[in-house]
Amino acid sequence: MSKKKTRKMRITKGEKLLYITATLCIAFTLIIKVFCGAGVSHLNMSIEKINYDINSQSKKNESLTMKVNELTSFDKVREVATDMGLAYNNENIIVVNK
């Protein structure tokens, strides 16, 4: 009877270097993905906040424009003139258009 020699599988230095490099690349890719995702979500939140601010300012501007139009109407001018004891003369009113 002859004895069989068993061969052990050894990992060479090149294979070790290849495995370490692949592991580092995968870890680096995951870290970059997390940080880039965080940056993008931060930018999205900033954009949404600015859009909200713009919308609220537009509503305020629209409200103020309506108030100005209401206060500059001819009925309001006539009412203020009669409250102050002035005579309302339509011929003396000059309309200035922008």
Which tokens sit at 39? 């940056």
Quick one: 81 exposed, middle or buried, by C-beta within 10 A (0-12, 13-18, 19+)?
middle
Helices (H), 1-98: 13-71, 74-83
Q: Which domain holds residue 18?
A: 13-92
Q: Is residue 69 part of a domain?
A: yes
Q: In whole angstroms, give the CA distance from residue 59 to residue 80.
A: 28
Report how many domains make up the chain.
Answer: 1
pLDDT tens for the chain, residues 1 to 98: 567 777 777 888 999 999 999 999 999 999 999 999 999 999 999 999 999 999 999 999 999 999 998 888 878 878 888 888 887 777 777 777 76
Q: Is residue 98 part of a domain?
A: no
* Res 8: pLDDT: 78
